[in-house]
Structure 1
Amino acid sequence: MSLAGKTLFISGGSRGIGLSIALRAARDGANVTIAAKTAEPHPKLPGTIYTAAEEIEKAGGKALPAICDIRDEAQVGEAVARTVERFGGIDICVNNASAIQLTGTLETDMKRFDLMHQINTRGTFLVSKLCIPHLKLAANPHILNLAPPLDMAAKWFKNHVAYTMAKFGMSMCTLGMSAEFARHGIAVNSLWPLTAIDTAAVRNLLGGANVAAMSRSPSIMADAAYAILNRPARETTGNFFIDEEVLRAEGVIDFSIYAPGTKGPLAGDFFVPDDVFERTETQVSRVFN
């Protein structure tokens, strides 16, 4: 497997899972556009598009840092055009950018509601839409959405219906576009973690250090994404992949490398269907159910 010479367009890839996916591809010598808003250091969040680009180059890839608010069609269009101009095309689109607020209906102001839908659902739709004309020209084109399985259980909606709607909107892009573009040979899939991932969102919003200690590193998502993006596009579309299951299919047995030092069960992530937890060999605590 190799992504050498492939061009990835990654939204929101200045930190966390998006950056980890970028670095895994860069180790092969891939080209990566980091399309994100963070151009200046944030007081609470690590990394900018420029520090991400430096890391990608050090890892062996080529990087294009692009200041891009994916709510703005013109900015996305410019970032896509710059990518094609710099690298000659786009092989892979990774929709990683996301906004989260876990509040109930009465506590969710409409400005935040709009933000989540504009970034999660509309942003995924827009970035995909503008990349697809170039993906049609690629040899093994993939769209990968960092979005959950469509598990329509009330428990995933009752405490934060606005966020769930916005996140499932990304998943519906997978469902619809995988069928729409199958004849063009474009793979459209979702990838979601079995467990919580130790990111800024977990540390700042989802339980802090306690949940972070029960989480895996972003590298498990990067390795799973890498495996998916190397598969034949025409044979790999319309799937809602879970990271651990992808890697087990690749022959991975030891998952301790993704959670070094962790003792006891890991925190199961949001939106993971009960049947997935039931068939996993990993000890998982359903912290977010």
Structure 2
Amino acid sequence: MSLKGKTLFITGASRGIGREIALKAAQDGANIVIAAKSTQEHPKLGGSIFTVAQEVEAVGGQALALQLDVRDQDAVVLAMKQAAAHFGGIDILINNAGAIKLSGVETLDPNRFDLMYQINTRAVMVCSQAALAYLKNSDNPHILNLSPPLNLDEKWFASYAPYTITKYGMSMLTLGMNQEFASYGVSVNSLWPRTIIATAAIEFSLGGKQLFSRARKPNIMADAAYRILNSEKRALTGRLLIDEEILRESGITDFSEYRYADSEDELMVDLFVKE
């Protein structure tokens, strides 16, 4: 397996899972477009498009850092054009950018819902639409959305239906685009973690850093994504995948290396995943 020479356009790649996928592909000598809003390191979150670009190049990849707000359709179209011109095309789109607020209908500010919808759902359509012209020219094109399996258990709607709706929208786009883009040879999948991942979303939105003892590192998602992106000619497509599931299909059975902390605490299963 290798992504050498492939061009990956990754949204939200300045930190977390997006950054980890970028570095994994860069080790093969891939071209990485780091498309995110952060041009300076956040005092709490760290990371920027430029720090990740440096990391990508340090491990053997080629980097293009582009400041991008995925809510801006014109900016997305321009960024895709710049990326394709710089690297000679686009082979892979990873829709990783996301927004989260676990509040119910009674208390959620509608403006916050608009933000989640625009980033979690609308941006997947906009970015995929803008990338498609370039993906059509790739010999093994992929779209990978960081979104969950569709689990209609009421518990996923009871307390935070607005967020659930926007993430499920991504997954439904996966299923739709898989069929719509089949004639172009584009593989379209979703990927979601079985357990919580030690990221800023957990630290600041889902309970705090103390949960990291029950979390895995982002590299498990990168390793799973790597296997998906190396599948060829739509051999793997139209699936709403779980990281551990795809790695098990690849023959991996020991997941201890992915634990964030040397702890005996039970790993916490992520949202939308059946226990």
TM category (shorter chain) comes to over 0.9
Amino acid at match of 1:239: R
1:2 aligned partner, one-letter code: S
Preserved contact between residue 142 and residue 233 of structure 1 (Cα < 8 Å): no
Within a 5 Å distance, the mapping from 1:155-170 to structure 2 comes to 155-170=155-170
Divergent runs of 4+, >6 A: none
Give distance in 1, aligned partners of 2:207 and 2:88: 43
Shift of 1:213: 1.1
Q: 2: distance between equivalents of 1:180 and 1:107?
A: 37
CA distance in 2, matches of 1:233, 1:109: 43
User: Partner letter of residue 76 of structure 1?
Assistant: V
1:11 paired with 2:11, answer yes
Query: Per-residue CA shift, 1:149-187, capped at 9, x if unaligned?
Result: 111111111101111111111111101000111121100
Q: Contact 1:93/1:142 (CA < 8 Å) preserved in 2?
A: yes
Distance 2:214 2:205 in 1: 15
Deviation at 1:38, TM superposition (A): 0.6
Answer yes or no: is the 8 Å Cα contact 1:53–1:64 preserved in 2: yes
Give CA-to-partner distance per residue, 1:54-93, whole Å, 9 cap, x none: 1111111000000000000111111101111110000000
The Cα of 1:44 is off from its aligned counterpart by 2.0
> Cα RMSD (Å) of the superposition?
0.9
CA distance in 1, matches of 2:95, 2:6: 17
Q: Which residue of 2 aligns with 1:134?
A: 134
Cα deviation for residue 52 of structure 1 reads 0.8
Task: Give the SS at the match of 1:5.
Answer: coil
Q: Distance in 2 between matches of 1:174 and 1:262?
A: 36
Matched, 1:47 2:24: no
- Matched with 1:244 is 244
Cα separation, 2, equivalents of 1:48 and 1:209:
21
d(CA) in 1 for partners of 2:234, 2:200: 35
User: Which residue does the alignment assign to 1:209?
Assistant: 209
Deviation at 1:264, TM superposition (A): 3.3
Cα distance in 1 between the residues matched to 2:54 and 2:24 = 14
After the TM superposition, which of the residue ranges 94-103 and 228-237 deviates more from structure 2? 228-237
Task: Measure the CA separation in 2 of the matches of 1:202 and 1:264.
Answer: 16
Structure 2 residue matching 1:235: 3-state secondary structure: coil
Question: How do 1:15-164 and structure 2 match up within 5 A?
Answer: 15-164=15-164
| Offset from partner CA, 1:9-53 (integer Å, 9 cap, x none) | 000000000000000000000000011101122222110000010
Kindly state the Cα deviation for residue 225 of structure 1 after the two structures are TM-superposed: 0.1
Unaligned runs of 5+ in 1: 278-289
Specify the code of the residue in structure 1 equivalent to 2:58.
K
Contact persistence 2:121–2:170 (CA under 8 A)? yes
Q: Which runs of 5 or more structure 2 residues have no equivalent in the other structure? A: none
Number of residue equivalences: 274
3-state SS of 2:158 partner: coil
User: How far apart are 1:96 and its partner, in Å?
Assistant: 0.1
| Distance in 1 between residues matched to 2:38 and 2:237, nearest whole Å | 31
Corresponding residue number in structure 1 for 2:171: 171
8 A Cα contact 2:3 2:29, kept in partner: yes
Once the two structures are TM-superposed, the CA of residue 235 in structure 1 deviates from its matched residue by 1.6
| TM-score when normalising by structure 1 | 0.93
